[in-house]
A and B are shown apart, each in its own frame.
Chain A
Amino acid sequence: MLNAAGNAYGPDLTAIGERRSPAFLTKVLSKPSDGLAEDFLFVRATTSSGQTIEGIRANEDSFTIQIKDNSGRFHSFRKSELTNLQKLRGQTPMPSFAAILSPTDLQDLVAFLASQRGPQ
């Protein structure tokens, strides 16, 4: 999400340039699993009806878990009603942009993100 556009699957990028250096942004965009925040956990839940939900863990306690999927929608499950709950440590749904973008485009993206300083 950037300036209220997009969805909030990952961190809000509106002021990402205030929080992260260009070097860090380059590293994360190239190899996303190297820059996961401590409270970021990618999970996969399978319900008793066979439905699988992947997303970011929004919250968790001993009996329930709340997951945000890639559309920004929240799902809340009782753990006892899941047939499987995988915590995909070190994984992230974000692809490596080094494999998608040319080096120049990647530099441009980093420069753009580093310039995002929030509402002026």
Chain B
Amino acid sequence: MKPANRGHGLQPVRFSLATRHFSLAAFQKLAYAILLAASLSTLTCAQVPFSRIANADSEPGNWLTYSRNLLGHRFSPLTEITPANVFNLKVKYAVQFPTERNEVSPLVVDGVVYVTGPNWAAALDAHTGRQLWRWSRVIPKDYHNIGFLQVSRGPAVLDDKLYIATLDCYLVALDLKSGTERWATQVGDYHLGYSMTVAPLAIEGKIVVGVSGGEAGIRGFVDAYDASTGKQSWRFWTIPGPGEPGHDTWAGDSWKTGGGPTWVTGAYDPDLKLVYWGVGNPAPDWNGDARLGDNLYSCSFLALDATTGKLRWHFQFSPHDTHDWDAAHTPVLFNATINGRPRKLLATANRNAFYYVLDRETGEFIAGQPYAKETWAKGLDAKGRPIRIPDSEPTENGTLIWPNLNGATVWFSPSYSPQTGFFYVAVRQIGSIYFKRESEYKPGTFFPGGGENELPPDDAWGEIRALEATTGNTQWTFKLHSPPWAGVLSTAGGLVFSGSDEGNFYALDARTGKPLWDFQTGGPIGANPISFTIDGHQHIAISADRVLYVFALE
């Protein structure tokens, strides 16, 4: 990232009130400068009340929240780029980041692109990529990322502030116009392994965040903070304490170091006023001997009351997980008619290789089936609980299981197109030999209980799959050279965009999966694509390693 105010970037307007000789000409200049500043502010840094985020479809040229809408769709209603013209997509500009392997999903608000990385954020002119402001926070020297990379998956915006979750576990609010820090609230203690890589989620008056640290034996939680003040509104512990429902699913004191991180952005239903959030693995990851029981609410989705943080329902995908299969996914919320009855649904392709459809009002299991190769379960029972295959647990000598610990898909986003009714997911087809080891908990250190040896690269591959959203039936499959780390964007123009670990950014026909366009970015893509407009024309953006690429039709 280049420093601001170089070259032809927007220049800040500065005022001095210490002028001794205040002539009329000087006053006129000052008044003009104030008007100009106000005009620029209006043009580039508009307010973002919650109503704009909740009605994202009314302004398809912006990207105001992590998944563009609160329902987790990562679908763009823009239609300029189509299967007929996508061959003409070209790089408009590229922005170099100061950190590698960026996972950011940018926001775009009225001509400004907001990006984040580990403990930094920046505003960019959407026309040119030139930096408008930059903020950073020192990563403490004694900070350690335990079990994940030093990344930031994006910001949130609400009213006049931009929000970023930091590695040293602070939620920071920045002034949208200047990047000036407005408040910073400590969410967790990084000395105990708590950290944040998540893109916060802005809901009515609150900012919701989750934490990383599942490999450090944290006790996880989902938090909401007052967007104006940074004061905590509520906390939901993902590992229930004594006397709380679900506590009896943990043997002995194992709940105290039970994990249950919450490191991927959730979704929100403004009508039901429910926050949907995924919970990660129980700790230690690969040795469940000391934590007998289902280990609620690890590997679960939670539906939380947005006002109080109280649990409305939960659904556990992998009870007593020993494969590190976090439910680290953005839930996809959509409505459909099931057996003649209109239902409010939630869908997810889980890390454990099964696709699930739930009733999002009640958590009732509606449908589910594998969407990737798996060798650990015969299927799902009538309530969606997996029917395990014996001897699929990690052992001292190793057990070969599909999928590997990163799962059949993981944190990167799926996409739901209301146009096709398809759920698009980037699939990792890879197996692994899982090992079980002894592990002693020491605060703020790696607490794994085992590990894995992945199968060789030529025994693994990737896919983009289009699933019928209501059933999980595969509609088409596009094969990738290796298991991907990039999310999926679908558009009303009839396209699906995603990236590969070898640097390909590509477009597929949303109805058939036919490859239509690709571009070699030169770096591994481990991020989510977005789409927005500049001067009324559709653009596509993706981060590839250290570079943010922005594409448009030539």
Q: Give how many A-B residue pairs fall within 8 Å (CB-CB).
A: 30
- Cβ contacts under 8 Å, B462 to chain A: 62
Contacts of B504 in A (CB 8 A): 61-63
Q: Does B456 sit within 8 A of A, measured CB to CB?
A: yes
Q: In the bound complex, what is the Cα–Cα distance between A80 and B506 (angstroms)? A: 14
The answer to whether B503 and A61 have CB atoms under 8 Å apart is yes
A62 touches B456 (CB 8 A): no
Partner pick for B458 among A62, A63, A89, CB 8 A cutoff: A89
- Complex: how many Å from CA A89 to CA B480? 19
Write 16 A-B pairs (CB below 8 A) sorted by A numbering.
A38-B456, A38-B457, A61-B500, A61-B504, A62-B462, A62-B479, A62-B480, A62-B502, A62-B504, A62-B506, A63-B504, A63-B515, A63-B518, A63-B520, A64-B520, A89-B458
Residue B127 interfacial (CB < 8 Å):
no
Q: Give bound CA distance, A115 to B264, whole Å.
A: 55
Is B312's beta carbon under 8 Å from chain A?
A: no
**Is residue A18 contacting chain B, with contact meaning CB distance below 8 A?**
no
A43 CA / B287 CA spacing, docked (Å): 41
Report how far A64 CA is from B519 CA in the complex, Å. 11
Q: Which residues of B contact A61 (CB under 8 A)?
A: 481, 500, 502-504, 520
CB contact under 8 A between A41 and B515, given known A61-B481, A63-B504, A63-B506 = no
Within 8 A of A (CB), among B492-526: 500, 502-504, 506, 515, 518, 520
> Which residues of B does A touch, CB under 8 Å?
456-458, 462, 479-482, 500, 502-504, 506, 515, 518, 520
Structural contact, B515 and A80, CB atoms closer than 8 A: yes
CB-nearest residue of chain B to A63:
B518
CA gap between A61 and B462 in the complex, in Å: 11
- Provide the bound-state CA to CA distance between A61 and B503, in Å: 8
Q: Tell me the smallest distance from the CB of B430 to a CB of chain A, in Å.
A: 15
A63–B457 CA distance with the chains assembled, in angstroms:
17
Extra pairs beyond A61-B500, A61-B503, A62-B500 (19, CB < 8 Å):
A38-B457, A41-B458, A60-B481, A61-B481, A61-B520, A62-B480, A62-B482, A62-B502, A62-B506, A62-B518, A63-B504, A63-B506, A63-B515, A63-B518, A63-B520, A64-B520, A80-B515, A87-B458, A89-B458
Residues of A within 8 A of B500 (CB): 61-62
Q: Which residues of A contact B458 (CB under 8 A)?
A: 41, 87, 89
- Of A61, A64, A87, the most chain B CB neighbours within 10 A belong to A61
The 0/1 profile, CB within 8 Å of B marked 1, for residues 55-90 of chain A is 000001111100000000000000010000001010
Q: What are the residues of chain B within 8 A of A89 when measuring CB–CB?
A: 458
Task: List 4 A-B pairs, minimum CB-CB distance, nearest first.
Answer: A61-B502, A62-B481, A62-B480, A63-B518
Residues of B within 8 A of A87 (CB): 458
How many Å lie between the Cα of A38 and that of B502 in the bound state? 18
- Please report the C-alpha to C-alpha distance between residue A60 and residue B525 in the assembled complex, in whole angstroms: 15
CA distance A64 to B502 in the complex (A): 10
Q: How far is the CA of A21 from the CA of B456 in the complex (A)?
A: 24
Q: Tell me the bound Cα distance from A17 to B72 in angstroms.
A: 57
Chain A residues near B481 (CB, 8 Å)?
Answer: 60-62
Expressed in whole angstroms, the Cα–Cα distance for A62 and B480 within the complex equals 5
Chain B residues lying within 8 Å of A63, measured Cβ to Cβ, are: 504, 506, 515, 518, 520
How far is A63 from B515 in the complex, measured between Cα atoms in Å? 9
Give the residues in chain A near B515, CB-CB below 8 Å: 63, 80
Complex interface: chain A residues within 8 A of B480 (CB): 62
* Nearest Cβ on chain A to B83's Cβ, whole angstroms: 16
User: How close is A91's CB to chain B, nearest CB, in angstroms?
Assistant: 13
A38-B457 Cα distance, complex, nearest whole Å: 9
Closest to B503 in A: A61
A28 to chain B, nearest CB (A): 19
Q: In the complex, A104 Cα to B167 Cα: how many Å?
A: 64
Nearest residue (CB) in B for A60 is B481
Taking the closest CB of chain A, its distance from the CB of B487, in whole angstroms, is: 16
Within the complex, the shortest CB–CB distance from B481 to chain A, in Å, comes to 4
Q: How far is the CA of A11 from the CA of B502 in the complex (A)?
A: 23
**In the complex, A62→B505 CA distance in Å?**
10
Chain A residues with CB under 8 Å of B506's CB are 62-63
A38 CA / B456 CA spacing, docked (Å): 8
Q: Name A65's closest neighbour in chain B (CB-CB).
A: B481
* Residues from chain B with Cβ under 8 Å of A60 in the complex: 481, 502
Closest to A87 in B: B458
Least CB distance, A85 to chain B, in whole angstroms: 12
Most buried by A among B458, B480, B515: B458
B456: which A residues are within 8 A, CB to CB? 38
Chain B residues near A62 (CB, 8 Å)? 462, 479-482, 500, 502, 504, 506, 518
Q: Which residues of B contact A38 (CB under 8 A)?
A: 456-457
Rounded to whole Å, the gap between the CB of A58 and the closest CB of chain B is 13
Distance between Cα atoms of A61 and B520 in the complex (Å): 9
Q: Which residues of A are found within 8 Å of B457, using beta-carbon distances?
A: 38
Contacts of B502 in A (CB 8 A): 60-62
Which B residue's beta carbon lies closest to that of A89? B458
Tell me how far the C-beta of B9 lies from the nearest C-beta in chain A, rounded to whole angstroms.
Answer: 34
Least distance between A46 CB and chain B CB atoms (Å): 19
Q: How far does the Cβ of B426 sit from chain A's closest Cβ, in whole Å?
A: 12
Nearest A residue (CB) for B519:
A63
One digit per residue, 1 when the CB lies within 8 angstroms of any chain B CB and 0 when it does not, for chain A 19-60 equals 000000000000000000010010000000000000000001
